[in-house]
Amino acid sequence: MKSLDRGILSSYDYKKRGNWIPIGLVCVLVAVMALSMIYPILSALFNGFKANTEVNAFPPHLLPREWHLDNFGKGWSYIDLPLFLRNTLFIFGGNMLVTVAVLGMAAFSLSKLKVPYRKSIYFFFMITLFIPPSTYIIPNFLNLRDLGLLNTFAAFWLPAGASAFFLLLLKNFFDGIHGEMIEAARIDGASDWNCFARIAIPLSIPIFATLAIFVFSTAWNDWFWPSLVMHHDNKYPLATAIYKYVISAKMLDLNIRFAILSMVMLPPIAVFLLFQKFIMRGLHLGGVKG
């Protein structure tokens, strides 16, 4: 018999009249919160279909009176979106590879190998989570400058291997892998590398899928750090190019601007809707276990 997951409230709780008012208030609150988040997205999308005079009209209205589909064609030709999209995906691919290789091996070592002072190392990385990210922007920039990595994609890949949050998330997941599996592989002659590559990684697909969503979101939305380390237009990621050439543009019509923003806004929403189960499952599997 297939078991059903029980929520916070059962069907009996919904039938009790005394619970109707609080449940109704919660539903109204959730609906208001959902509308407050969906409205800016719909407003930007529909403004991309309006004429420029209609976007600036007062009072504003959500739906366009006349649909101008050519706004998206003009926005596509205004900047080289495929180039900036390619740069963003290139950054994402490198960051994900570094995350799997460097952070994966580091987390596996802290979880399954007898590393000296591994508890102290674990708490050291945990302490770094309390440091504001703005405090190490300048040291990272100076280190990359001294290494000659400015204006290269390595300026993104190298810092990706120093994410304490991803390290702790992977370490907590590896802690849930039974040690008997690793010991059995070692008895059969497997090295530590084979245990990591042939046992840990195949069992860690859910957590790596979750990290892929986070890495993709960071690569897609980050604009400040690329504006510091990249000095050539042809190497900008998408967010930096949008900020410099669309948001900061003074002579660009608002309807074209909204059309470009809509094209950039929809892909990450689609990615999240398609892979949201991996996020929830990965956070559950990688959570701290009691």
pLDDT one digit per residue (tens) for the chain, 290 residues:
444 455 566 666 666 766 777 778 888 999 999 898 888 888 889 988 988 888 888 888 888 888 888 889 888 988 888 999 999 999 999 999 999 999 999 999 888 888 888 888 888 888 888 888 888 888 889 999 999 889 999 999 988 888 888 898 888 888 888 888 888 888 888 888 888 888 888 888 888 888 888 898 889 988 888 988 988 888 899 999 998 888 888 888 888 999 999 999 888 888 878 777 766 665 555 444 44
Q: Which domain holds residue 31?
A: 11-74
Regarding pTM above 0.85, the answer is no
Q: Is residue 4 part of a domain?
A: no
Neighbouring C-alpha atoms within 13 Å toward the C-beta of 258:
23
> 153 with 269, same domain?
yes
Provide the CATH number for the domain around residue 187: 1.10.3720.10
Q: What is the total count of domains within the chain?
A: 2
Q: Which residues of 51-77 are buried (b: 16+ CB within 10 A; e: fewer)?
A: bbebbeeeeeeeebeeebeebbeebee
Q: How far is the C-alpha of 145 from the C-alpha of 138, rounded, in Å?
A: 10
> 48 with 162, same domain?
no
> 106 with 158, same domain?
yes
